[in-house]
């Protein structure tokens, strides 16, 4: 693989061909400032295509020079017979050598190299040689990210959409995926909460034979999501409570009854009554905390009181009144 430095017209470079682009950065002000101060220290790497050239390494350098109105540029020109796989490796290596790649850049690198691998195990070996250390299963997931809609990718980069959730959204219809991506970008939930809400919405939509975008726009859910006077944490709490009540009405009703009767018990500090998981059993748990003999005696007095409290009988018998 040979490369010769030449000065070529910038107009001969096809800046719209992003075959080998890895970086997600679009700004060029910093590079343009550096070029104005010290010159183009590291010329971009190009390869001929048709009557012009495409970029293998140095997209931002090319765009910076275009923004400064340059007409010509010194560049490294690869031999025309350079293999595409070699160009891909050069593009990835150039980016990796400059900085740690973000998740979307890593996805672009994996996806680019996947065109020259027969399977994910072979791809994992190839990326390992370039400094990555991911298992074939993880490589398989990461390489799909750069093929998702832009809003999904932005959510992954901003940590508002977890990678596993982004991949799940990609399996849904476009309207559904985009609607959920907008919601997750706004709410900024943890991975577990994203998964919970996605599961609840999917199950409710299937049971009620409705679309998720339709559900998100209806009065109850729409009011929660569009309330400008409520912060995102409160919105998330309200949304989860609403969906759980809709998906599991019997459990939600049991929880409310339990909470009401538990308040009547006035357990106070140091005592906590825990119901059976999902109210599907009959075994309750009572946690008792104390630091000294005096506190233990006080807890014992409280315990004796609640044993004879009518609210406890209602809890155990699961009666509303």
Q: What is the pLDDT of residues 150-192, one digit of tens each?
A: 999 999 999 999 999 999 999 998 899 999 999 999 999 999 9
Number of domains in the chain: 3
Show Cβ contacts of residue 95 under 8 Å, excluding neighbours closer than 6 positions: 22, 23, 57, 101, 105, 109
Provide the residue range defining the domain that includes 305: 262-317
* 10: in domain: yes
Question: Is 82 within the bounds of a domain?
Answer: yes
Question: Does one domain contain both 190 and 211?
Answer: yes
Which pLDDT belongs to residue 157?
Answer: 94
Q: Are 20 and 57 in contact (CB under 8 A)?
A: yes
Same domain, 133 and 180: no
pLDDT digits (tens, 9 = 90+) for 262-290: 999 999 888 999 999 888 888 999 999 99
Indicate if 27 and 115 belong to the same structural domain. Answer: yes
C-alpha pair distances (Å), 54 with each of 50, 66, 71, 81, 234: 9, 15, 16, 14, 50
Residue 321 has a pLDDT of 66
> Do the domain assignments include residue 255?
no
233 plus 185 within the same structural domain: yes
Q: Establish if 213 belongs to a structural domain.
A: yes
Q: State whether 112 and 25 are in the same domain.
A: yes
Buried b (16+ CB within 10 A) or exposed e, 151-172: bbbebbeeebbbbebbbbbbeb
Token pair recorded at residue 232: 């995102």
Whether residue 189 sits in one domain with residue 92: no
* pLDDT for the residue numbered 1: 67
46 phi and psi angles, rounded to 5 deg: -125, 165
Q: 75 - beta bridge partners?
A: 6
Check whether residue 94 and residue 191 sit in a common domain: no
C-alpha to C-alpha distance for 97 and 225, rounded to whole angstroms: 43
- The reported pLDDT for the residue numbered 13 is 95
**pTM of the predicted model, to two decimals?**
0.78
CATH code of the domain in which 9 resides: 3.90.1530.10
Residue 77 is classified by DSSP as E
**Is 286 within the bounds of a domain?**
yes
Instruction: Judge if 24 and 82 occupy the same domain.
Output: yes
Domain boundary among 213, 247, 281: 247
Whether 252 is covered by a domain: the verdict is no
42 shares its domain with 139: yes
Residue 296 lies in a domain: yes
Separation in Å, CA 161 to CA 110, 154, 169, 205, 245 = 20, 8, 10, 21, 25
Domain match, 8 and 141 both: yes
31 and 82 in one domain? Answer: yes
Q: Which residues of the chain have pLDDT under 50?
A: none
Q: Which of 201, 218, 247 is the last residue of a domain?
A: 247
* Domain limit, last residue, from 91, 121, 145: 145
* Residue 131: predicted pLDDT: 85
157 and 141 belong to one structural domain: no
100 within a domain of the structure (yes/no): yes
């Amino acid at each position: 693989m040979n490369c010769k430095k030449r000065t070529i017209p910038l107009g001969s470079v096809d800046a719209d061909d992003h075959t080998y682009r890895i970086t997600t950065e679009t700004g060029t002000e910093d590079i343009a400032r550096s070029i104005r101060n010290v010159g183009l220290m590291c010329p971009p790497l190009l390869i001929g295509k048709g009557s012009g050239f495409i970029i293998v390494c140095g997209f931002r350098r090319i765009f910076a020079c275009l923004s400064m109105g340059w007409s010509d540029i010194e560049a490294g020109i690869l031999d025309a017979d350079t293999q595409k796989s070699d160009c891909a490796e050069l593009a990835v290596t150039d980016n990796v050598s400059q900085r740690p790649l973000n998740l979307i850049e890593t996805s672009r690198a994996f996806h680019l190299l996947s065109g020259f691998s027969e399977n994910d195990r072979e791809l994992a070996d190839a990326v390992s040689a370039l400094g990555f250390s991911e298992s074939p299963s993880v490589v398989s997931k990461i390489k799909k990210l750069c093929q998702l809609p832009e809003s999904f990718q932005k959510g992954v980069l901003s940590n508002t959409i977890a990678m596993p959730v982004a991949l799940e959204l990609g399996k849904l219809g476009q309207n559904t995926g985009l609607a959920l991506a907008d919601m997750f970008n706004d709410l900024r939930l943890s991975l577990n909460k994203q998964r919970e809400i996605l599961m609840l919405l999917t199950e409710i939509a299937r049971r009620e034979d409705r679309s998720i975008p339709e559900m998100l726009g209806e009065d109850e859910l729409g009011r929660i999501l569009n309330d400008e006077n409520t912060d995102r944490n409160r919105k998330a709490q309200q949304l989860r409570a609403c969906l759980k009540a809709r998906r599991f009405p019997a459990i939600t009703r049991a929880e409310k009854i339990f909470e009401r009767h538990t308040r009547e018990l006035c357990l106070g500090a140091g005592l906590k009554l825990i119901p059976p998981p999902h109210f599907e059993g009959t075994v309750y748990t009572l946690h008792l905390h104390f630091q000294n003999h005096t506190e233990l005696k006080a807890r014992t007095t409280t315990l004796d009181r609640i044993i004879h409290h009518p609210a406890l009988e209602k809890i155990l018998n699961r009666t509303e009144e």
